[in-house]
Amino acid sequence: MKILVINGPNINMLGIREKNIYGTGDYSFLCTLLKEKAKEENIQLEIKQSNYEGEIVNFIQEAYGNVDGIIINPAAYTHYSIAILDALKAVDIPTVEVHISNIHKREEMRHKSVTAAACVGQISGFGLKGYLLAMEGLIDFFKNKK
């Protein structure tokens, strides 16, 4: 199985930005966590991050025919990016949306996810562990599909 992890704007600033919300683990720590879990589960993993909506759309389109699943944290784009939603729908790759914080306990503008409609599930509020839960969710999704 091959999984692509896509991180949106400011995720590269983990460990620096709003530690009370996102914790103290930096982006490198997140990538290490994901790589260790992937190795443990015998999964090929690719991790990408961009602060640009169009580049995220390109990552999704390039995944078509090349990966089995996507884990995405669209960050702020979650709440208004029809372009990312449309890209996810176009490639039709099982996707899990992840949010480090609980978006439903934050400002009202963060409560709505536009992109979740194209996902098989959403995980929110479990910190960086949410990414690991998303990976487990995709593993289970494919096991149950057989």
Q: What is the pLDDT along the chain (146 residues), one digit of tens a residue?
A: 999 999 999 899 887 766 676 666 789 999 999 999 999 999 999 999 999 999 999 999 999 999 999 999 999 889 889 999 999 999 999 999 999 877 776 667 565 789 999 999 999 989 999 999 999 999 999 998 76
Domain of 111, CATH number, reads 3.40.50.9100
| Given 99, 104, 111, 131, the catalytic residue | 99
| Given 22, 52, 64, 104, the catalytic residue | 22
Beta strands in the chain (DSSP E): 2-7, 44-49, 69-73, 95-99, 121-124
Read off the pTM.
Answer: 0.92
What count of Cα atoms within 13 Å lies in the side-chain half-sphere of residue 121? 15
22 is catalytic: yes
Domain containing residue 68:
2-145
> What is the predicted pLDDT for the residue at 27?
92
Q: Is 20 helix (H, G, I), strand (E, B) or coil?
A: helix
Say how far apart CA 89 and CA 95 lie, in whole Å. Answer: 10
Count up the domains in the chain and report the number: 1
